[in-house]
Amino acid sequence: MARIGVRLESGPHLTPGQLIELAKLVEDRGFESVWLPEGAGSEALTHLAAFACNTSRVTLATGILPIYHRTPTLLAMGAGSVDAISGGRFTLGLGVGHRDPVEGGHGIPFDRPMTRMRETVHIVRGLLTGEPVTYEGKVYRPRGSKLGFAPLRPDLPIYLAALRPRMVEMAGEIADGVLLNWATPEYLEQAVGHLRRGAEKAGRDPSAVDVACYVRTAVVDDVEAAKPWLRRRIAYYFTMDYYVRYFEQRGFAGEAAIISAALARGDPEGAADVVTDAMLEELAVVGSAEECRRRVDALRATGLRMPVVAPFVQGDNAMETFRAVIDAFAQ
């Protein structure tokens, strides 16, 4: 059975009850994992604990928790707690997040992201052994920090979200897996190479580091009719610097400049109009269930081990959007 996961969203279009319903559906349809981000929506670990109480087999993963929102000790507490509630089914996905929500939303300087990530993983791993942790880092300096409970799994999997080569290489060095985003064959092949270099630099077997990637997906009968709302969804991601730089590297620098300018002046519809068919074809998997399955399967040849289909959400039709993708990729 081919490995595959699903990304859910805790934004304004789904209630907590609907999210639980979808998590149960993901498990019933035979998926390996369900991933939940933490950004503009609700706090992720609370939802995953609820998923744990309503499922029994599917892996539950954060995709991702921004490391600026919590100290390493709090991350270890949350990860260990959800892992215990789920009976050892939790995966901790970590990322640096984006500058604007970190600095504007949380009032925290977006500094030293690489250093902060490396120190976070080191401290979290230490705490999950159940032993006291003292660490003298450039960002964190815990003194005898220790969890107040016995973690279920000292080797709880940690994945790093990465778009750029340095973070992908770090995942190869210190993580159990990497979570990539915006899958294209060229990007995936490059990322797998960076991951391999990072693992080899650390004396690790590259095959021991999992490769997962969000594949932005819309299962629709009428692609032309879906293009307007798909363009709006893609344009939204140009509000985040990391994604803008990634889109520029994928050959869309001209479009990125125009879209970003339109968003800056408060014109989301104008921004969406700039998203071309070529961008949709490159950045998203859109079409019938059969076509979407074919394109996702083709990505596996690049070294992608676990595609995580990430449905584009269509406003009031959010449940139908998710169900269509889940049904299309049922195992």
Q: What is the pLDDT of residues 252-266, one digit of tens each?
A: 999 999 999 999 999
| Residues 152 and 79: beta-carbon distance below 8 Å | no
Burial class (CB in 10 A: 0-12, 13-18, 19+), 50: middle
| Residues 311 and 34: beta-carbon distance below 8 Å | no
Please state, rounded to an integer, the average pLDDT across all residues of the chain: 97
Mean pLDDT of 44-56: 99
Q: What is the pLDDT of residues 179-224, one digit of tens each?
A: 999 989 999 999 999 999 999 999 999 999 999 999 999 999 999 9
Q: What is the pLDDT of residues 107-164, one digit of tens each?
A: 999 999 999 999 999 999 999 999 999 999 999 999 999 999 999 999 999 999 999 9
Residue 166 in this model has a pLDDT that exceeds 90: yes
Helix (H) or strand (E) holding 306: strand 306-311
Q: Which long-range contacts (CB under 8 A, 24 or more apart) does 190-197 make?
A: 190/165, 191/162, 191/165, 192/302, 192/303, 192/304, 194/165, 194/168, 194/169, 195/168, 195/169, 195/171, 196/172, 197/169, 197/172
Kindly report the three-state secondary structure assignment for every residue of 153-174: CCCCCEEEECCCHHHHHHHHHH
At 300, list the tokens. Answer: 């596996």
> How far is residue 293 from each of residues 12, 285, 325, 328, measured CA to CA in Å?
28, 9, 10, 7
| Percentage of the chain modeled with pLDDT above 90 | 95
Burial class (CB in 10 A: 0-12, 13-18, 19+), 109: exposed
Looking at per-residue confidence, does 54 or 40 come out higher? 54
Residue type at 257 in one-letter notation? A
Residue 40 in this model has a pLDDT that exceeds 80: no
- In the chain, the largest separation of any two C-alpha atoms, in whole Å, equals 59
Q: What is the pLDDT of residues 86-123, one digit of tens each?
A: 999 999 999 999 998 999 999 999 999 999 999 999 99
Please name each of the domains of the chain with its CATH number: 5-220+288-328 (3.20.20.30), 223-284 (no CATH)
Residue type at 249 in one-letter notation? Q
DSSP 105: I
Degrees to nearest 5, angle at CA 58 with 57 and 64: 150
Rounded to the nearest 10 degrees, the angle between the axes of helix 318-328 and helix 289-299 is 60
- For position 316, what pLDDT does the model report? 80
Helix (H) or strand (E) holding 26: helix 16-28
- For position 234, what pLDDT does the model report? 96
Using DSSP's 3-state secondary structure scheme, residue 119 falls into helix
- pTM, 2 dp: 0.97
| Percentage of the chain modeled with pLDDT above 70 | 100
Mean pLDDT of 53-69: 98
- Please report which confidence band the pLDDT of residue 1 belongs to, taking 50, 70 and 90 as the band edges: confident
